[in-house]
Amino acid sequence: MAGSNDLKLLGMWASPFVLRVKLALSLKGLSYEYVEEDLRTKSELLLKSNPVHKKVPVLIHNGKPVCESSVILQYIDEAFAGTGPSLLPVDPYERAMARFWAAYIDDKMMAAWNQASKAKTEEEKAEAMKQSFATVETLEGALRDCGKGKPFFGGEDVGYVDVVLGGLLGWIRANDELQGVKPFDPERTPLLAAWAERFWSLEAVEPQMPDVSKLVEFGKMLQARQAAAGEGN
Amino acid sequence: MATDVPAVKLIGWYGSPYVHRAEVALRLKGVPYEFIRDDPINKSELLLQHNPIHKKVPVLLHGDRTICESLVILEYVDETFDGPPLLPVDPYERAMARFWAHFIDQKFARPFWMSFWMCEDDEHKEAFVKEAKGNLAILEEQLKGRRFFGGDAVGFLDVAACGLAHWLGVIEEVSGVTLVNGDEFPAFCKWAKAYVNDDTVKQSLPDRDELLAFFSGNKEIYMALARATLHK
Protein backbone atom coordinates (compact mmCIF):
# COMPACT_ATOMS: atom_id res chain seq x y z
CA MET A 1 0.00 0.00 0.00
CA ALA A 2 2.92 2.33 -0.72
CA GLY A 3 2.19 5.91 -1.75
CA SER A 4 -1.21 6.56 -0.23
CA ASN A 5 -0.04 5.82 3.28
CA ASP A 6 3.68 6.18 3.32
CA LEU A 7 4.85 6.17 6.94
CA LYS A 8 8.38 6.74 8.12
CA LEU A 9 9.48 6.95 11.75
CA LEU A 10 12.73 8.66 12.68
CA GLY A 11 13.83 7.27 16.00
CA MET A 12 16.50 6.11 18.40
CA TRP A 13 16.40 2.63 19.94
CA ALA A 14 16.68 3.75 23.57
CA SER A 15 14.18 6.61 23.42
CA PRO A 16 11.00 6.04 25.44
CA PHE A 17 9.25 8.70 23.35
CA VAL A 18 10.05 6.86 20.12
CA LEU A 19 8.86 3.64 21.77
CA ARG A 20 5.46 5.24 22.42
CA VAL A 21 5.05 5.83 18.68
CA LYS A 22 6.24 2.29 17.80
CA LEU A 23 3.69 0.91 20.26
CA ALA A 24 0.87 3.01 18.80
CA LEU A 25 1.73 1.97 15.24
CA SER A 26 1.91 -1.66 16.31
CA LEU A 27 -1.41 -1.52 18.17
CA LYS A 28 -3.07 0.02 15.11
CA GLY A 29 -1.47 -2.59 12.84
CA LEU A 30 0.20 0.06 10.68
CA SER A 31 3.35 -0.68 8.69
CA TYR A 32 6.12 1.87 8.42
CA GLU A 33 9.77 2.35 7.60
CA TYR A 34 11.94 2.83 10.67
CA VAL A 35 15.05 4.99 10.47
CA GLU A 36 17.53 4.75 13.37
CA GLU A 37 19.12 8.14 14.01
CA ASP A 38 22.55 8.73 15.49
CA LEU A 39 21.72 11.62 17.79
CA ARG A 40 25.30 12.82 17.82
CA THR A 41 25.24 13.31 14.04
CA LYS A 42 21.63 14.01 13.21
CA SER A 43 20.52 13.37 9.64
CA GLU A 44 19.52 16.10 7.21
CA LEU A 45 16.06 14.57 7.15
CA LEU A 46 15.69 14.85 10.94
CA LEU A 47 16.95 18.43 11.03
CA LYS A 48 14.66 19.38 8.17
CA SER A 49 11.65 17.56 9.64
CA ASN A 50 12.03 18.88 13.19
CA PRO A 51 13.89 22.18 12.91
CA VAL A 52 12.38 23.50 16.16
CA HIS A 53 13.49 20.75 18.54
CA LYS A 54 15.81 18.60 16.37
CA LYS A 55 14.62 15.56 18.33
CA VAL A 56 13.09 12.16 17.76
CA PRO A 57 10.49 10.80 17.35
CA VAL A 58 9.37 12.31 14.05
CA LEU A 59 6.62 10.58 12.11
CA ILE A 60 6.64 11.43 8.44
CA HIS A 61 3.32 10.66 6.75
CA ASN A 62 3.25 11.06 2.97
CA GLY A 63 6.21 13.42 3.30
CA LYS A 64 4.68 15.58 6.06
CA PRO A 65 6.43 15.51 9.46
CA VAL A 66 4.67 15.33 12.83
CA CYS A 67 6.75 15.90 15.98
CA GLU A 68 6.31 15.45 19.76
CA SER A 69 5.24 11.98 20.92
CA SER A 70 1.86 12.96 22.39
CA VAL A 71 1.01 14.95 19.24
CA ILE A 72 2.08 12.01 17.07
CA LEU A 73 -0.06 9.54 19.04
CA GLN A 74 -3.16 11.69 18.63
CA TYR A 75 -2.34 12.22 14.96
CA ILE A 76 -2.06 8.46 14.36
CA ASP A 77 -5.39 7.97 16.10
CA GLU A 78 -7.11 10.64 13.99
CA ALA A 79 -5.46 10.11 10.60
CA PHE A 80 -5.98 6.35 10.82
CA ALA A 81 -9.33 6.42 12.57
CA GLY A 82 -10.65 3.51 10.54
CA THR A 83 -7.63 1.28 11.12
CA GLY A 84 -7.29 -0.91 14.18
CA PRO A 85 -8.50 0.04 17.67
CA SER A 86 -8.80 3.69 18.77
CA LEU A 87 -6.29 4.97 21.27
CA LEU A 88 -8.49 7.71 22.64
CA PRO A 89 -12.04 7.03 23.85
CA VAL A 90 -15.07 8.42 22.03
CA ASP A 91 -16.62 10.35 24.92
CA PRO A 92 -15.22 13.92 25.25
CA TYR A 93 -14.96 13.72 29.04
CA GLU A 94 -13.06 10.45 28.93
CA ARG A 95 -10.83 11.96 26.27
CA ALA A 96 -10.18 14.93 28.56
CA MET A 97 -9.24 12.56 31.40
CA ALA A 98 -6.87 10.65 29.12
CA ARG A 99 -5.21 13.88 27.99
CA PHE A 100 -4.98 15.09 31.59
CA TRP A 101 -3.17 11.95 32.76
CA ALA A 102 -0.89 11.85 29.73
CA ALA A 103 0.12 15.45 30.50
CA TYR A 104 0.61 14.50 34.17
CA ILE A 105 2.97 11.68 33.21
CA ASP A 106 5.08 13.97 31.05
CA ASP A 107 4.93 17.21 33.03
CA LYS A 108 4.95 15.98 36.61
CA MET A 109 6.10 12.37 36.81
CA MET A 110 8.95 12.56 34.30
CA ALA A 111 10.02 15.96 35.57
CA ALA A 112 10.33 14.48 39.07
CA TRP A 113 12.37 11.53 37.75
CA ASN A 114 14.66 13.88 35.86
CA GLN A 115 15.21 15.93 39.02
CA ALA A 116 16.07 12.74 40.89
CA SER A 117 18.66 11.77 38.29
CA LYS A 118 20.26 15.22 38.49
CA ALA A 119 20.51 15.22 42.29
CA LYS A 120 24.05 15.64 43.49
CA THR A 121 23.98 15.15 47.25
CA GLU A 122 22.44 12.21 49.13
CA GLU A 123 20.03 14.65 50.72
CA GLU A 124 18.94 16.09 47.36
CA LYS A 125 18.56 12.58 46.01
CA ALA A 126 16.39 11.46 48.93
CA GLU A 127 14.12 14.49 48.57
CA ALA A 128 13.86 14.06 44.79
CA MET A 129 13.05 10.35 45.18
CA LYS A 130 10.32 11.25 47.66
CA GLN A 131 8.78 13.70 45.14
CA SER A 132 9.14 11.11 42.40
CA PHE A 133 7.40 8.48 44.43
CA ALA A 134 4.55 10.86 45.25
CA THR A 135 3.84 11.24 41.53
CA VAL A 136 3.82 7.46 41.06
CA GLU A 137 1.38 7.12 43.95
CA THR A 138 -0.89 9.68 42.30
CA LEU A 139 -0.82 7.62 39.12
CA GLU A 140 -1.65 4.49 41.14
CA GLY A 141 -4.65 6.43 42.43
CA ALA A 142 -5.66 7.29 38.87
CA LEU A 143 -5.55 3.64 37.83
CA ARG A 144 -7.57 2.70 40.88
CA ASP A 145 -10.21 5.43 40.66
CA CYS A 146 -10.53 6.06 36.92
CA GLY A 147 -9.61 2.53 35.90
CA LYS A 148 -12.23 1.07 38.29
CA GLY A 149 -10.75 -2.40 38.33
CA LYS A 150 -10.27 -2.58 34.58
CA PRO A 151 -6.98 -3.98 33.30
CA PHE A 152 -5.78 -0.83 31.54
CA PHE A 153 -6.01 2.96 31.86
CA GLY A 154 -7.99 2.71 28.62
CA GLY A 155 -10.45 0.25 30.20
CA GLU A 156 -10.76 -3.29 28.86
CA ASP A 157 -8.28 -2.46 26.12
CA VAL A 158 -5.09 -0.48 25.86
CA GLY A 159 -5.51 3.24 25.28
CA TYR A 160 -3.64 6.50 25.00
CA VAL A 161 -2.46 6.73 28.60
CA ASP A 162 -1.29 3.09 28.56
CA VAL A 163 0.89 3.86 25.53
CA VAL A 164 2.22 7.11 27.01
CA LEU A 165 3.21 5.31 30.22
CA GLY A 166 4.14 2.09 28.44
CA GLY A 167 6.86 3.83 26.46
CA LEU A 168 8.68 4.42 29.76
CA LEU A 169 8.61 0.81 30.93
CA GLY A 170 11.97 -0.15 29.44
CA TRP A 171 13.74 2.54 31.42
CA ILE A 172 11.63 1.82 34.48
CA ARG A 173 12.98 -1.75 34.47
CA ALA A 174 16.51 -0.58 33.63
CA ASN A 175 16.48 1.92 36.51
CA ASP A 176 15.81 -0.90 38.91
CA GLU A 177 19.35 -2.04 38.25
CA LEU A 178 20.92 1.37 37.57
CA GLN A 179 19.60 3.18 40.60
CA GLY A 180 18.38 0.36 42.82
CA VAL A 181 14.89 1.82 42.67
CA LYS A 182 11.68 0.09 41.71
CA PRO A 183 9.42 2.93 40.51
CA PHE A 184 6.51 0.47 40.25
CA ASP A 185 7.12 -1.46 43.46
CA PRO A 186 4.53 -4.25 43.79
CA GLU A 187 4.33 -3.59 47.51
CA ARG A 188 3.75 0.15 47.32
CA THR A 189 1.94 0.48 43.97
CA PRO A 190 0.46 -2.96 43.29
CA LEU A 191 -1.93 -1.83 40.55
CA LEU A 192 0.82 -0.18 38.52
CA ALA A 193 3.14 -3.14 39.02
CA ALA A 194 0.46 -5.52 37.75
CA TRP A 195 -0.42 -3.17 34.90
CA ALA A 196 3.26 -3.05 33.84
CA GLU A 197 3.49 -6.86 33.60
CA ARG A 198 0.19 -7.08 31.78
CA PHE A 199 1.07 -4.33 29.30
CA TRP A 200 4.56 -5.64 28.55
CA SER A 201 3.28 -9.12 27.72
CA LEU A 202 0.68 -7.99 25.16
CA GLU A 203 1.18 -9.47 21.71
CA ALA A 204 1.35 -6.07 20.02
CA VAL A 205 3.69 -4.72 22.70
CA GLU A 206 6.32 -7.30 23.64
CA PRO A 207 8.21 -7.43 20.31
CA GLN A 208 8.54 -3.63 20.35
CA MET A 209 10.03 -3.38 23.83
CA PRO A 210 13.76 -2.69 24.13
CA ASP A 211 16.31 -5.12 25.51
CA VAL A 212 16.57 -4.02 29.15
CA SER A 213 20.16 -5.22 29.56
CA LYS A 214 21.16 -3.00 26.63
CA LEU A 215 19.35 -0.07 28.25
CA VAL A 216 21.25 -0.73 31.47
CA GLU A 217 24.56 -0.70 29.55
CA PHE A 218 23.52 2.50 27.81
CA GLY A 219 22.46 4.05 31.11
CA LYS A 220 25.83 3.21 32.68
CA MET A 221 27.58 4.81 29.73
CA LEU A 222 25.49 7.97 30.09
CA GLN A 223 26.23 8.11 33.82
CA ALA A 224 29.96 7.78 33.16
CA ARG A 225 29.80 10.49 30.51
CA GLN A 226 27.94 12.79 32.88
CA ALA A 227 30.43 12.19 35.66
CA ALA A 228 33.35 12.85 33.33
CA ALA A 229 31.80 16.09 32.17
CA GLY A 230 31.86 17.34 35.75
CA GLU A 231 28.83 19.43 36.60
CA GLY A 232 25.54 18.17 35.16
CA ASN A 233 23.17 20.68 33.53
CA MET B 1 -33.39 22.95 23.79
CA ALA B 2 -33.12 20.42 26.62
CA THR B 3 -34.58 21.52 29.92
CA ASP B 4 -31.88 19.72 31.80
CA VAL B 5 -28.75 21.42 30.46
CA PRO B 6 -25.95 20.88 32.98
CA ALA B 7 -24.51 24.09 34.35
CA VAL B 8 -21.06 25.24 33.27
CA LYS B 9 -18.85 26.94 35.81
CA LEU B 10 -15.28 28.11 35.50
CA ILE B 11 -13.00 28.63 38.49
CA GLY B 12 -10.32 31.23 37.78
CA TRP B 13 -7.90 33.78 39.17
CA TYR B 14 -7.72 37.36 38.08
CA GLY B 15 -5.11 38.11 35.43
CA SER B 16 -4.32 34.59 34.32
CA PRO B 17 -3.91 34.00 30.59
CA TYR B 18 -4.60 30.30 31.20
CA VAL B 19 -8.01 31.20 32.62
CA HIS B 20 -8.61 33.51 29.66
CA ARG B 21 -7.97 30.54 27.34
CA ALA B 22 -10.85 28.65 28.93
CA GLU B 23 -13.17 31.68 29.04
CA VAL B 24 -12.66 32.67 25.43
CA ALA B 25 -13.21 29.07 24.29
CA LEU B 26 -16.59 29.01 26.05
CA ARG B 27 -17.52 32.37 24.54
CA LEU B 28 -16.45 31.37 21.04
CA LYS B 29 -18.76 28.38 21.35
CA GLY B 30 -21.56 30.52 22.77
CA VAL B 31 -21.71 28.54 26.03
CA PRO B 32 -23.15 30.43 29.00
CA TYR B 33 -21.09 29.94 32.16
CA GLU B 34 -20.68 31.20 35.68
CA PHE B 35 -17.25 32.56 36.55
CA ILE B 36 -16.12 31.75 40.06
CA ARG B 37 -13.28 34.03 41.05
CA ASP B 38 -10.76 32.30 43.28
CA ASP B 39 -7.75 33.72 45.11
CA PRO B 40 -4.31 32.14 44.55
CA ILE B 41 -3.19 33.24 48.02
CA ASN B 42 -6.31 31.86 49.67
CA LYS B 43 -7.39 28.95 47.53
CA SER B 44 -10.98 27.90 48.08
CA GLU B 45 -12.19 24.50 49.22
CA LEU B 46 -13.98 24.29 45.87
CA LEU B 47 -10.72 24.62 43.95
CA LEU B 48 -8.77 22.25 46.18
CA GLN B 49 -11.56 19.71 46.01
CA HIS B 50 -11.78 19.84 42.21
CA ASN B 51 -8.08 20.12 41.42
CA PRO B 52 -6.30 18.38 44.29
CA ILE B 53 -3.38 17.38 42.06
CA HIS B 54 -2.29 20.74 40.70
CA LYS B 55 -4.30 23.13 42.91
CA LYS B 56 -4.42 25.57 39.99
CA VAL B 57 -6.84 27.30 37.68
CA PRO B 58 -8.59 27.17 35.30
CA VAL B 59 -10.95 24.41 36.42
CA LEU B 60 -14.04 23.74 34.34
CA LEU B 61 -17.08 22.28 36.07
CA HIS B 62 -19.65 20.88 33.66
CA GLY B 63 -22.50 19.27 35.54
CA ASP B 64 -20.74 16.70 37.68
CA ARG B 65 -17.62 16.64 35.51
CA THR B 66 -14.36 18.38 36.39
CA ILE B 67 -11.77 19.23 33.76
CA CYS B 68 -8.37 20.74 34.61
CA GLU B 69 -5.43 22.04 32.55
CA SER B 70 -6.22 24.83 30.09
CA LEU B 71 -5.31 23.01 26.86
CA VAL B 72 -7.27 19.93 27.97
CA ILE B 73 -10.22 22.24 28.70
CA LEU B 74 -9.94 23.82 25.23
CA GLU B 75 -10.20 20.43 23.53
CA TYR B 76 -13.04 19.35 25.83
CA VAL B 77 -15.03 22.51 25.07
CA ASP B 78 -14.37 22.03 21.35
CA GLU B 79 -15.57 18.43 21.37
CA THR B 80 -18.53 18.85 23.71
CA PHE B 81 -20.29 21.97 22.53
CA ASP B 82 -21.69 23.02 19.18
CA GLY B 83 -20.44 26.15 17.50
CA PRO B 84 -17.48 26.97 15.27
CA PRO B 85 -14.66 24.43 15.63
CA LEU B 86 -11.65 25.63 17.61
CA LEU B 87 -9.29 23.02 16.22
CA PRO B 88 -8.99 22.50 12.47
CA VAL B 89 -10.84 19.55 10.95
CA ASP B 90 -7.88 18.04 9.09
CA PRO B 91 -5.78 15.67 11.28
CA TYR B 92 -2.47 17.11 10.07
CA GLU B 93 -3.57 20.70 10.76
CA ARG B 94 -4.77 19.56 14.20
CA ALA B 95 -1.36 18.02 14.87
CA MET B 96 0.31 21.28 13.89
CA ALA B 97 -1.97 23.31 16.20
CA ARG B 98 -1.23 20.94 19.10
CA PHE B 99 2.51 20.99 18.35
CA TRP B 100 2.67 24.78 18.44
CA ALA B 101 0.53 25.04 21.58
CA HIS B 102 2.93 22.60 23.21
CA PHE B 103 5.86 24.70 21.99
CA ILE B 104 4.37 27.82 23.55
CA ASP B 105 3.81 26.15 26.91
CA GLN B 106 7.08 24.23 27.07
CA LYS B 107 10.08 25.52 25.10
CA PHE B 108 8.86 29.06 24.66
CA ALA B 109 7.56 29.89 28.14
CA ARG B 110 10.67 29.75 30.32
CA PRO B 111 13.16 31.94 28.42
CA PHE B 112 10.30 34.31 27.71
CA TRP B 113 9.45 34.71 31.39
CA MET B 114 13.06 34.80 32.53
CA SER B 115 13.93 37.54 30.00
CA PHE B 116 11.57 39.90 31.73
CA TRP B 117 12.24 39.19 35.35
CA MET B 118 15.95 38.53 35.65
CA CYS B 119 17.95 41.43 37.00
CA GLU B 120 19.54 43.72 34.47
CA ASP B 121 23.04 42.82 35.59
CA ASP B 122 22.49 39.06 35.75
CA GLU B 123 24.83 37.33 33.30
CA HIS B 124 22.11 34.89 32.24
CA LYS B 125 19.62 37.52 31.18
CA GLU B 126 21.16 38.11 27.76
CA ALA B 127 21.06 34.41 26.93
CA PHE B 128 17.37 34.21 27.86
CA VAL B 129 16.55 37.29 25.76
CA LYS B 130 18.36 35.78 22.80
CA GLU B 131 16.50 32.51 23.18
CA ALA B 132 13.15 34.28 23.63
CA LYS B 133 13.69 36.31 20.47
CA GLY B 134 14.71 33.18 18.57
CA ASN B 135 11.44 31.56 19.63
CA LEU B 136 9.46 34.66 18.63
CA ALA B 137 11.07 34.50 15.19
CA ILE B 138 9.85 30.92 14.87
CA LEU B 139 6.28 32.03 15.64
CA GLU B 140 6.64 34.99 13.26
CA GLU B 141 7.35 32.47 10.47
CA GLN B 142 4.17 30.57 11.33
CA LEU B 143 2.10 33.73 11.01
CA LYS B 144 3.38 34.81 7.59
CA GLY B 145 0.42 35.32 5.28
CA ARG B 146 -2.14 34.57 7.97
CA ARG B 147 -4.41 36.82 9.95
CA PHE B 148 -4.66 34.30 12.77
CA PHE B 149 -2.77 31.06 13.46
CA GLY B 150 -6.11 29.40 12.75
CA GLY B 151 -6.52 31.18 9.40
CA ASP B 152 -9.34 33.71 9.02
CA ALA B 153 -10.81 33.29 12.47
CA VAL B 154 -9.52 32.91 16.02
CA GLY B 155 -8.85 29.25 16.73
CA PHE B 156 -7.21 26.87 19.20
CA LEU B 157 -3.65 28.08 18.68
CA ASP B 158 -4.58 31.77 18.80
CA VAL B 159 -6.29 31.13 22.12
CA ALA B 160 -3.31 29.12 23.36
CA ALA B 161 -1.04 32.04 22.40
CA CYS B 162 -3.25 34.67 24.06
CA GLY B 163 -0.61 35.55 26.65
CA LEU B 164 1.60 36.79 23.85
CA ALA B 165 -1.12 39.02 22.47
CA HIS B 166 -2.39 40.80 25.55
CA TRP B 167 -0.14 40.08 28.50
CA LEU B 168 3.13 40.57 26.63
CA GLY B 169 2.76 44.33 26.25
CA VAL B 170 1.84 44.75 29.90
CA ILE B 171 4.79 42.67 31.08
CA GLU B 172 7.15 44.59 28.80
CA GLU B 173 5.94 47.84 30.34
CA VAL B 174 6.25 46.65 33.94
CA SER B 175 9.63 44.98 33.52
CA GLY B 176 11.16 47.61 31.25
CA VAL B 177 12.28 44.90 28.82
CA THR B 178 11.10 45.11 25.21
CA LEU B 179 11.26 41.88 23.25
CA VAL B 180 8.84 42.61 20.45
CA ASN B 181 8.91 45.42 17.93
CA GLY B 182 7.09 45.96 14.66
CA ASP B 183 10.28 45.91 12.59
CA GLU B 184 11.54 42.51 13.69
CA PHE B 185 8.15 40.86 14.16
CA PRO B 186 5.59 42.54 11.89
CA ALA B 187 3.28 39.54 11.39
CA PHE B 188 3.33 38.85 15.12
CA CYS B 189 2.41 42.44 16.00
CA LYS B 190 -0.45 42.43 13.49
CA TRP B 191 -1.70 39.15 14.92
CA ALA B 192 -1.59 40.42 18.49
CA LYS B 193 -3.63 43.48 17.54
CA ALA B 194 -6.16 41.39 15.61
CA TYR B 195 -6.51 38.98 18.52
CA VAL B 196 -7.15 41.56 21.24
CA ASN B 197 -9.60 43.42 18.99
CA ASP B 198 -11.69 40.39 18.12
CA ASP B 199 -15.25 40.98 19.35
CA THR B 200 -15.54 37.72 21.27
CA VAL B 201 -12.02 37.73 22.67
CA LYS B 202 -12.45 41.26 24.02
CA GLN B 203 -15.21 40.17 26.36
CA SER B 204 -12.90 38.02 28.45
CA LEU B 205 -9.69 40.05 28.34
CA PRO B 206 -8.82 41.77 31.59
CA ASP B 207 -8.68 45.56 31.31
CA ARG B 208 -5.15 46.58 30.32
CA ASP B 209 -4.71 49.28 32.98
CA GLU B 210 -5.94 46.97 35.72
CA LEU B 211 -3.60 44.26 34.47
CA LEU B 212 -0.73 46.75 34.47
CA ALA B 213 -1.42 47.68 38.08
CA PHE B 214 -1.69 43.99 39.00
CA PHE B 215 1.65 43.06 37.44
CA SER B 216 3.36 46.16 38.82
CA GLY B 217 2.22 45.16 42.27
CA ASN B 218 3.73 41.70 41.87
CA LYS B 219 6.97 42.72 40.19
CA GLU B 220 9.22 41.93 43.15
CA ILE B 221 7.65 38.49 43.52
CA TYR B 222 8.25 37.64 39.85
CA MET B 223 11.85 38.80 40.09
CA ALA B 224 12.44 36.75 43.23
CA LEU B 225 10.89 33.69 41.57
CA ALA B 226 13.09 34.15 38.49
CA ARG B 227 16.22 34.24 40.66
CA ALA B 228 15.08 31.22 42.64
CA THR B 229 14.31 29.07 39.62
CA LEU B 230 17.39 29.96 37.61
CA HIS B 231 19.07 26.60 38.08
CA LYS B 232 15.98 24.41 37.91
Q: What are phi and psi of A87, to 5 degrees?
A: -85, -40
What would the CATH number be for the domain defined by B8-80?
A: 3.40.30.10
- B192 vs A96: CA distance, rounded Å: 29
The pTM (predicted TM-score) of the whole model is: 0.94
- Report whether B211 contacts B162 (CB < 8 A): no
Describe the strand order of the beta sheet including B59-62 as a list of residue ranges. Answer: B34-37, B8-12, B59-62, B65-68
Nearest CB neighbour to B75, from listed A68, A96, A138: A96
Closest by alpha carbon to B71, among B30, B112, B43, B99? B99
Using one digit for the tens of pLDDT, what is the confidence trace for A84-97?
A: 999 999 999 999 99
The fold of the A7-79 domain, in CATH, is Glutaredoxin (3.40.30)
- Report whether A11 contacts A22 (CB < 8 A): yes
Predicted confidence band of residue A52 (pLDDT cuts 50, 70, 90): very high
Helix (H) or strand (E) holding B228: helix B219-228
Give the distance from residue B215's alpha carbon to the nearest chain A alpha carbon, in angstroms. 26
- Please determine, for residue A199, whether its predicted confidence score (pLDDT) is greater than 50: yes
- A217 vs A213: CA distance, rounded Å: 6
Return the number of other C-beta atoms located less than 10 Å from residue B42's C-beta. 7
Interface test with A, best of B60, B71, B76 (most A CBs within 10 A): B76
Residues of chain A with CATH 3.40.30.10: 7-79
Q: Which residues contact A110 (CB under 8 A, 6 or more apart)?
A: A168
Return the number of other C-beta atoms located less than 10 Å from residue A47's C-beta. 10
User: Please, which residues 80-109 of chain B have a Cβ atom closer than 8 Å to chain A?
Assistant: 80, 91-92, 94-95, 98-99, 102-103, 107
Q: Does B221 touch chain A (CB under 8 A)?
A: no
- Please determine, for residue A230, whether its predicted confidence score (pLDDT) is greater than 70: no
Q: Which residues contact B39 (CB under 8 A, 6 or more apart)?
A: B13
Q: What is the reported pLDDT for A1?
A: 43
- B105 vs B160: CA distance, rounded Å: 8
Q: What is the mean pLDDT of residues A132-140?
A: 94
Residues of chain A with CATH 1.20.1050.10: 92-212
State the amino acid at position A55 in one-letter form: K
Q: What is the reported pLDDT for A121?
A: 85
Predicted confidence band of residue A124 (pLDDT cuts 50, 70, 90): confident
Predicted confidence band of residue A158 (pLDDT cuts 50, 70, 90): very high
The fold of the B91-231 domain, in CATH, is Glutathione S-transferase Yfyf (Class Pi); Chain A, domain 2 (1.20.1050)
DSSP assignment of A82-148, as one string?
TSS--SS-SSHHHHHHHHHHHHHIIIIIHHHHHHHHH--SHHHHHHHHHHHHHHHHHHHHHHHHTTT
Q: Give, in order, the Cα–Cα distances in Å from B82 to each of B31, B32, B79.
A: 9, 12, 8
Q: What is the reported pLDDT for A190?
A: 95
pLDDT (tens place) for every residue of chain B, 232 residues total:
455 677 999 999 999 999 999 999 999 999 999 999 999 999 999 999 999 999 999 999 999 999 999 999 999 999 999 999 999 999 999 999 999 999 999 988 889 889 999 887 788 889 999 999 999 999 999 999 899 998 999 999 999 999 999 999 999 999 999 999 999 999 999 999 999 999 999 999 999 999 999 999 999 999 999 988 887 6
Higher pLDDT, A145 or A196: A196
Q: What value does the mean pLDDT of chain A take?
A: 92
Give the distance from residue A201's alpha carbon to the nearest chain B alpha carbon, in angstroms. 30
| Contacts of the segment B28-31: beta carbons below 8 A, 24+ positions apart | B28/B83, B28/B84, B28/B86, B28/B154, B28/B159, B28/B200, B29/B77, B29/B78, B29/B81, B29/B82, B29/B83, B29/B84, B29/B86, B30/B81, B30/B82, B30/B83, B31/B77, B31/B81, B31/B83
Q: What is the mean pLDDT of residues A177-205?
A: 92
Cβ contacts of A74 on chain B, cutoff 8 Å: 94-95, 98
Q: Give, in order, the Cα–Cα distances in Å from B203 to each of B60, B72, B199.
A: 18, 22, 7
Domain range list for chain B:
8-80, 91-231
- Please determine, for residue A62, whether its predicted confidence score (pLDDT) is greater than 90: yes
What would the CATH number be for the domain defined by A92-212?
A: 1.20.1050.10
Predicted confidence band of residue A229 (pLDDT cuts 50, 70, 90): confident
Q: Which residues contact A1 (CB under 8 A, 6 or more apart)?
A: A31
- Please determine, for residue A2, whether its predicted confidence score (pLDDT) is greater than 70: no
